[in-house]
Amino acid sequence: MEKIIIFDTTLRDGEQSPGASLNHAEKLEIARQLAVLGVDVIEAGFPISSPGDFEAVKAVAKSVKGPIICGLARSIEKDIDAAYNSVKYSSRPRVHVFLATSKIHMKYKLKKAEDEILRLAVAAVKYARSKCPDVEFSPEDASRTEKQFLYKVVEAVVDAGAGTVNIPDTVGYAMPFEFGELVRGIKANVRNVDKCVISVHCHNDLGLGVANSLSAVINGARQVECTMNGLGERAGNASLEEIVMSIRTRHDAFKGVSTGVNTKEIYKTSRLVSKLTGMSVQANKAIVGSNAFAHESGIHQDGMLKERTTYEIMKPEDVGFGETKLVLGKHSGRHAVVERFKKLGFDLKKDQIDKAFDRFKELADKKKEIFDEDLETIMDEELLKLPEKFVLAHFYIASGDEVKPTATVKMKARGKAVEATSSGDGPVDACYKAIDKITGTSGKLLDYQIRSVTGGKDALGEVSVKIEVKGKVISGRGASTDIIEASIKAYVNAANKLVRK
């Protein structure tokens, strides 16, 4: 298998996403994870851009082993010096030099003619090559560059010592068929093309970054520049996870090529990048979105339960995602609902299934997603009609900033009136300790959430709790206009569920 080199530029182009700036420590943490992921090249930054970026690239070069560590530079000697001086600490350093070659860039940005651009490109590569054995050159805006001039530039920089020539679709302008033809034209018309690796760097302005990159691979490109989660300038770059999983999943279309990426680390890397950059991953993002392996449609769920490959072309565990999620909602069918009841330990008869499914549909019209706790409630309240073992009678609270909170709770426990008093760190804690005395259990409170069900000062408050008792995690809910009462009801609800289990 011929290897496709994965050049990750999350720390350089990805960091250029507005609001995605990373500090020294964050860059280093992401770089280490990228090495675990198995990328071949890490473009760690643009060293001349700031002293902080220089030091961050230097730290990555010193600390991260395995991948080539690359620094970006304009075709200016001071940029090249900065890039090399930051990456030279790596056992595999690379300097990446770029210069625009399209007419629009030459006329309005650089104000230079073709001959001058060609001279500057060759001089920059030769200067970089005198310092670093591994040099990459990018003719910026290559997809809008006149082809004959582009061929001339590529040939000249390879003669000057560039081991990799990157063909950027800088503004995401190309169509996949055009970009594939461009790469094929370079392979056919550049005399010394066999002496370099052809790379591509595609932006996503028209949503075609990944498509253009894959078209280039089919037509001979052997390095792809990309970012985790598709981060980058404007609409971002080609997404690393989509490129890697496309090549892996459609090996019939990408015959004879593969990547060295450890795909089981993809999801972990995605979440780390999202957390440190503050750039959220959209729910329906391919490969790493929270809905990427979730199914709500009844038809899809039925197919998935019969044979996974009916609606999944990849296994979620292959990208480190966990497992397929069958989301229960108003579009879900009977098959998925019954299977979820079975997983919860309820083996229902036909008449019970009919009642449970009808109740499920009623609830699903009111809620976006139905959780396991909702299904348990359906069983408890609508079908099993089990009596409550513990019923709140009344409670009394004494609390204040100079008073240790104390609670007295009276309940009907197994048909008898029982009362207990306890103190705690606050009124809710005091109530929970009093309830523990009555129920004979001492649960560890894992989660406590409160929300307003309605608006206004007299709003109905809903409290949700999760408690752990002897390894079992039980949830409970309670609602009241009195938050303390809602808290007690939620805890008692959980206690009743525990007794049933």
Residue 251, in any domain of the structure: yes
The rounded Cα 140 to chain-centroid distance in angstroms is: 29
Q: Supply the range of the domain harboring residue 315.
A: 294-384
* 335, 208: one domain: no
- In this structure, are residues 329 and 364 in contact, taking their beta carbons and an 8 Å threshold? yes
pLDDT tens column, 142-188: 999 999 999 999 999 999 999 999 999 999 999 999 999 999 999 99
* 247, 374: one domain: no
Q: Specify the CATH number for the domain of residue 188.
A: 3.20.20.70
User: Position of tokens 């390095």?
Assistant: 223
| Local structure of 399: helix, strand or coil | strand
Residue 285, in any domain of the structure: no
Q: Which residue in 119, 107, 170, 118 sits closest to 144, CA to CA?
A: 170
**Alpha-carbon separation of residue 323 from 113, 270, 369, 410 (angstroms):** 57, 17, 18, 44
* 163, 189: one domain: yes
490 compared with 324, residue with greater pLDDT: 490
The rounded Cα 54 to chain-centroid distance in angstroms is: 27
* CA 258/CA 247 separation, integer angstroms: 7
Give me the number of domains the chain comprises: 3
Please return the burial class of 351, using the count of CB atoms within 10 Å of its CB with bins 0-12, 13-18 and 19+.
exposed
Residue ending a domain, among 384, 415, 430, is 384
Pair of tokens at residue 284 = 């329906």
* 415, 324: one domain: no
* 373, 397: one domain: no
pLDDT tens column, 181-231: 999 999 999 999 999 999 999 999 999 999 999 999 999 999 999 999 999
Q: pTM here? A: 0.70
* CA 398/CA 208 separation, integer angstroms: 64
Residue 284, in any domain of the structure: no
* 25, 93: one domain: yes
pLDDT tens column, 273-316: 998 998 989 888 999 987 777 766 777 777 776 887 887 888 88
* CA 399/CA 373 separation, integer angstroms: 33
Kindly tell me the number of DSSP H helices and DSSP E strands found in the chain: 16, 18
* 249, 396: one domain: no
The rounded Cα 229 to chain-centroid distance in angstroms is: 6
* 412, 335: one domain: no
Q: Give me the residues paired with residue 364 across strands.
A: none
* 74, 137: one domain: yes
